[in-house]
Amino acid sequence: MTKTAWVFPGQGSQALNMGIDLLKISSAKAKFDQAEAILGWSVSDICENDEEKLSRTAYTQPCLYVVESILADLLREKGQQPNLVAGHSLGEYIALYVAGVFDWSTGLQLVKRRAEIMDSAAGGMMAALLNFDREKLEKVISATPDVVLANDNSPAQVVISGTPEAVQTVISQVKAKRALPLKVSGAFHSHLMAAAAEEFQAILEKTDFQTAAIPVSSNVDPVPEIDANILKQRLIQQMTGSVRWREISLQLPENGIEKVVEIGPGNVLTGLIKRTASGLILENIRHAAELPE
């Protein structure tokens, strides 16, 4: 059997009409209905009709959780199972659900609160840098207060996060092929999220986590883990900690993984993995048509 990892994208991968084809599948339609009862609004309505709301953190994260988790469940119904799971930022919640750390509705309730808290954490900014001098970047970040490396995505792509002034200072001092401000409400994955993280930590601490049935590579620590307490502590650190996706990618072959399946809209993660770790079979399941027969 080919050792396989399933990976789940986070905010930024959402797209209008994502998941709408799943409504024709009765088990998936039931999950959409269940989600509406938990959220108080319709995921399918927003995914189909409201691009503006879909791009707002409070709605983006629950929509992605619902669509990605349904695709993963349909894949499991086809008899497939991963040997390892990982997710990028919000995607880590779907990974933990698939690993059996918490049930589906608990995961959605956590994501709902996380999204609301993050959506209200205004005042910072994030920017993606493409093709840059990493050594120079690390030096400038260490010399500039109020900015951090938020997402270490691949050797050639990172995201920095902090106050607008500090982010602009880094952009002006580090030559990059492209520097793109991200459409987010705050400085996610930085110390500027400390108050939001503290509020969310109280919610996480009250939530029961189970031992994972499948090892999980976490954003703040790429070493695969199944211990419930360790996975919870890693998740508590996630809102202010860096997303170490480049290291997660490098760990995949080291853990014997031969194939990676990205489950969810777009192909961001398979693209990042391709640029970081060689020799892996990469697949995408973005919608129902890409599920195996």
Helix crossing, 57-77 with 26-39: angle to 10°? Answer: 150
Tokens representing residue 106 in the block: 């608990």
- Specify the 3-state DSSP secondary structure of 8: strand
Eight-class DSSP state of 16: T
Confirm if 291 and 263 have CB atoms less than 8 A apart. no
Which of 189, 190, 217, 218 is an active site residue? 189
Task: Report how far residue 148's alpha carbon sits from residue 179's, in angstroms, rounded to the nearest whole number.
Answer: 15
Task: Report how far residue 65's alpha carbon sits from residue 183's, in angstroms, rounded to the nearest whole number.
Answer: 19
Helix (H) or strand (E) holding 250: helix 245-254
With b meaning 16 or more CB within 10 Å and e meaning fewer, what string describes 35-69? beebbeeebbebbbeeeeebebbbbbbbbbbbbbb
Which of 13, 69, 89, 154 is an active site residue? 89
Task: Report how far residue 293's alpha carbon sits from residue 291's, in angstroms, rounded to the nearest whole number.
Answer: 7
Task: Report how far residue 213's alpha carbon sits from residue 215's, in angstroms, rounded to the nearest whole number.
Answer: 7
Confirm if 89 and 10 have CB atoms less than 8 A apart. yes
Task: Report how far residue 54's alpha carbon sits from residue 18's, in angstroms, rounded to the nearest whole number.
Answer: 10
191 tagged catalytic: no
Tokens representing residue 176 in the block: 């990059």
Q: Which residues are catalytic?
A: 89, 189
